[in-house]
């Protein structure tokens, strides 16, 4: 199997997080190759970046409306894409433990969109925070939407770091947002505004969905909850009916306790017996 065939196989077999990573890497390599062939120097922009990055001028957006999304697949330098894709890998894989893969893509794209809107507003209406760059690239707004979205849902989920110990997700999110606020007074103020725009979308989407009782995780949770059925007359012995009803009620109590544990501490904190019990109940 050739190298390209191996890449295609890995792409097809990967989840949405891995596919987004492959796409970002492919676009980055294409950008580098175009720069080399054009003989560009540092600071100059090749045609791919110029055509797909988001300009801070509203008139440019009218002629290139796709840039409100495509900028989220471009990166300015190796370290830029490296840190973004590392964050996407770890945050994204945590995200798909609670969301569907389709929902992750939605958060990535809409986070990118709202991040672009915030960038243009900041650069045109807040001159005090206007950065040096007139165009925007990077996946950070989409990643911020994913990170803040999952943090809003499971704020007390704990991650273990070597030499530090357990850290709650909301604490990491606070640092993440804090760094963006500090960046508003730097040369990349527009970029940090876009991160905050993506983060705001992630928070509002999950928070408002929960408040309206249309939580996007209801479909997942409903797999493990028994549906209420209308009462009807059954000609069986009272003893047998009582036993069945008691078992069903006890099972439901166990399910509710496990789901509550997941929402507070994460799926990984379940014991092996709890995972097996939840799996068996989900197949009924």
Report how far residue 7's alpha carbon sits from residue 65's, in angstroms, rounded to the nearest whole number: 31
Report how far residue 82's alpha carbon sits from residue 100's, in angstroms, rounded to the nearest whole number: 25
Report how far residue 54's alpha carbon sits from residue 72's, in angstroms, rounded to the nearest whole number: 9
| Neighbouring residues of 256: CB distance < 8 A, sequence distance ≥ 6 | none
Picking from 129, 31, 144, the residue whose alpha carbon sits closest to that of residue 83 is 144
* pLDDT tens-digit series, residues 103-152: 999 999 999 999 999 999 998 887 666 666 678 999 999 999 999 999 99
Residue 277 has pLDDT above 80, yes or no: no
User: Between vectors from CA 177 to CA 140 and to CA 65, what angle results, nearest 5°?
Assistant: 35
Confidence (pLDDT) at 212: 46
Mean pLDDT of the chain: 82
Give Dmax (Cα) for the chain: 87
* pLDDT tens-digit series, residues 184-198: 988 888 899 999 999
Q: What is the DSSP letter of 272?
A: H
Residue 74 has pLDDT above 90, yes or no: yes
Residue 9 has pLDDT above 90, yes or no: no
The two structure tokens encoding residue 272: 């092996």
Residue 19 has pLDDT above 50, yes or no: yes
| Neighbouring residues of 69: CB distance < 8 A, sequence distance ≥ 6 | 109, 112, 113, 116
With 0.85 as the threshold, say if the pTM is over it.
Answer: no
Picking from 143, 141, 148, 140, the residue whose alpha carbon sits closest to that of residue 207 is 148
Highest mean pLDDT among 32-41, 55-64, 248-257: 55-64
Helices then strands (H, E): number in the chain? 13, 4
Q: What phi-psi label fits residue 53: left (phi over 0), alpha (psi between -120 and 50 degrees) or beta?
A: beta
Confidence (pLDDT) at 39: 72
| Choice between 71 and 276, residue whose per-residue pLDDT is larger | 71
| Choice between 113 and 76, residue whose per-residue pLDDT is larger | 113
| Choice between 121 and 281, residue whose per-residue pLDDT is larger | 121
| Choice between 132 and 59, residue whose per-residue pLDDT is larger | 59
Domains, in order of start, for the chain: 3-211 (1.20.1540.10), 223-282 (no CATH)
The two structure tokens encoding residue 109: 């794209």
């Amino acid at each position: 199997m050739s190298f390209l065939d191996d890449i295609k196989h890995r792409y097809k077999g990967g989840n949405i997080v891995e596919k987004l990573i492959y796409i970002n890497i492919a676009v980055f390599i294409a950008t580098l190759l175009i720069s080399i062939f054009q003989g560009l120097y540092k600071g100059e922009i090749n045609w791919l970046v110029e055509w797909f990055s988001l300009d801070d001028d509203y008139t440019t957006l009218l002629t290139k409306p796709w840039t409100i999304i495509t900028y989220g697949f471009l990166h300015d330098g190796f370290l830029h894409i490296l840190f973004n894709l590392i964050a996407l890998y770890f945050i994204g894989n945590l995200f798909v433990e609670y969301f569907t893969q389709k929902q992750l893509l939605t958060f990535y794209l809409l986070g990118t969109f709202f991040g672009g809107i915030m960038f243009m507003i900041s650069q045109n209406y807040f001159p005090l925070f206007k950065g040096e760059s007139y165009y925007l690239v990077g996946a950070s707004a989409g990643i911020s939407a994913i990170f803040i979205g999952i943090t809003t849902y499971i704020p007390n989920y704990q991650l273990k770091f070597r030499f530090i110990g357990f850290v709650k997700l909301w604490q990491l999110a606070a640092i993440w947002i804090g760094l963006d606020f500090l960046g508003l007074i730097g040369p990349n103020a527009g970029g940090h505004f876009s991160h905050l725009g993506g983060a705001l979308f992630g928070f509002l989407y999950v928070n408002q969905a929960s408040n309206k009782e249309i939580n996007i995780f209801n479909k997942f949770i409903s797999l493990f909850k028994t549906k209420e059925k209308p009462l009807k007359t059954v000609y069986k012995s009272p003893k047998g009916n009582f036993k069945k009803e008691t078992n069903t009620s006890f099972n439901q109590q166990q399910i509710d306790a496990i789901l509550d544990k997941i929402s507070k501490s994460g799926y990984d904190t379940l014991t092996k017996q709890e995972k097996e019990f939840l799996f068996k109940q989900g197949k009924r």
